């Protein structure tokens, strides 16, 4: 009798113990917890199985990689993504599906007047039209940049300049006479000739010169993550070259659509531009 009681008690305690561990082990965590339009979202799966079959955001599959030893996915939330609650699910390797929700909140967008520099025709309707047409062309040419199906990086992403001072933030609306343009990167203050560094390991996919983007370097970090460095004075890398985090990729300038020296830095996740400042914060 005593033995049987002991066994019963042991089984109950063990089951409770197992239940407790499982509940704590299998969960979905988000960074940032407060998510706004135009921001990147990191989804991490905390699971005792240590691997997952799939992660979905709003029903759409997300590519999976290991970060800090956890199955992880990155999602770029478009600036005009519908606000509201989205479901996130993960299918664990044992077939169980866990889920959670995250709300995409409305970004408060500021609008500020903007001009076209004299070198691009000044503030005339004509130069506005050529700006719109050529920007569309440039953006289209960036839609099909190759991206590796694995991550090239293993540690945090770091700022592209030694000294960071933000001139123009991501996402605000630039009001020209007849059009509004969303600023899809961050402008860092940088005098001409300041060293520009790769934000992480990756392969240089584009070294080019464009009417609006100016001298441009684009680095592929894998799984759809591309970093853009615009308005450079000079590029110091070649297409196809592997770069490590902190390597000099060029020097800042004011080439293209820029009326003063600065570095425009953009991050895209599978074609979606996200706030680079928030992106860097994900890995801190
Ligand atoms: Zn800019």
Using the mean position of ligand 1's atoms as its centre, give its distance from the Cα of residue 255 in Å: 12
If one compares 156 and 2, the residue with the highest pLDDT of the two is: 156
The answer to whether the Cα torsion of 228, 234, 236, 241 is positive or negative is positive
Q: What is the DSSP code string of 243-274?
A: E-TT-EEEEEB--SS-SS-EEEEEEEETTEEE
Using the mean position of ligand 1's atoms as its centre, give its distance from the Cα of residue 273 in Å: 12
Q: Please choose, from the candidates 194, 202, 195, the residue with its C-alpha nearest in 3D space to the C-alpha of residue 239.
A: 202
CA 92 to chain centre: 25
Please identify which residue in the block is written with the tokens 């953009």. Answer: 266
33-59 tens-digit pLDDT: 999 999 999 999 999 887 899 999 999
Using the mean position of ligand 1's atoms as its centre, give its distance from the Cα of residue 151 in Å: 26
169-208 tens-digit pLDDT: 999 898 887 788 889 999 999 999 999 999 999 999 999 9
CA distance 163 to 262: 12
Using the mean position of ligand 1's atoms as its centre, give its distance from the Cα of residue 170 in Å: 8
Using the mean position of ligand 1's atoms as its centre, give its distance from the Cα of residue 78 in Å: 17
The mean pLDDT value for 116-132 works out to 86
Which percentage of the chain shows pLDDT scores above 70?
A: 91
Which residues are close to ligand 1, an ion, with C-beta < 5 A?
185, 187, 264
- What pLDDT, on the 0 to 100 scale, is given for residue 214? 97
Using the mean position of ligand 1's atoms as its centre, give its distance from the Cα of residue 10 in Å: 64
Q: What is the DSSP code string of 110-123?
A: -EEE----GGGT-S
Answer whether 196's CB lies under 8 Å from 189's CB.
no
List Cα–Cα distances, 173 to 8, 93, 258, in angstroms.
Answer: 67, 44, 16
Using the mean position of ligand 1's atoms as its centre, give its distance from the Cα of residue 163 in Å: 17
The answer to whether the Cα torsion of 13, 15, 21, 27 is positive or negative is negative
Determine the length of the chain.
284
Using the mean position of ligand 1's atoms as its centre, give its distance from the Cα of residue 113 in Å: 14
Q: Read off the tokens for 14.
A: 């063990």
Using the mean position of ligand 1's atoms as its centre, give its distance from the Cα of residue 83 in Å: 25
Q: In order of start, what are the domains of the chain with their CATH numbers?
A: 24-105 (2.60.40.1590), 111-282 (2.70.70.10)
């Amino acid at each position: 009798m005593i033995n049987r009681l002991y066994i019963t008690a042991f089984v109950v305690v063990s089951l409770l113990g197992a239940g407790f561990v499982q509940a704590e082990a299998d969960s979905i965590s988000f960074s940032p917890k407060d998510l706004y339009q135009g921001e990147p979202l990191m989804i991490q799966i905390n699971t005792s199985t240590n691997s997952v079959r799939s992660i979905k955001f709003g029903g759409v599959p997300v590519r999976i990689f290991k970060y800090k030893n956890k199955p992880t996915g990155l999602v770029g939330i478009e600036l005009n993504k519908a606000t509201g609650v989205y479901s996130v699910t993960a299918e664990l390797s044992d077939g169980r599906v866990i889920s959670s929700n995250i709300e995409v909140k409305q970004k408060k967008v500021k609008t500020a007047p903007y001009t076209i520099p004299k070198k691009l025709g000044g503030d005339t309707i004509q130069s506005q039209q050529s700006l719109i047409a050529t920007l569309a062309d440039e953006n289209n040419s960036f839609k099909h940049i190759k991206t590796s199906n694995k991550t090239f990086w293993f540690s945090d992403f770091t700022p592209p300049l030694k000294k960071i001072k933000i001139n123009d933030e991501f996402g605000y609306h630039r009001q020209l006479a007849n059009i509004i343009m969303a600023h899809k990167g961050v402008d860092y203050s940088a005098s001409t000739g300041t060293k520009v560094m790769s934000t992480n390991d990756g392969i240089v996919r584009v070294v080019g010169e464009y009417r609006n983007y100016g001298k441009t370097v684009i680095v592929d970090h894998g799984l759809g993550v591309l970093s853009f460095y615009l308005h450079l004075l000079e590029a110091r890398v070649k297409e196809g070259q592997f770069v490590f985090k902190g390597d000099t990729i060029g020097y800042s300038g004011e080439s293209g659509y820029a009326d003063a020296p600065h570095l425009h830095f953009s991050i895209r996740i599978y074609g979606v531009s996200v706030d680079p400042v928030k992106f860097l914060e994900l890995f801190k």
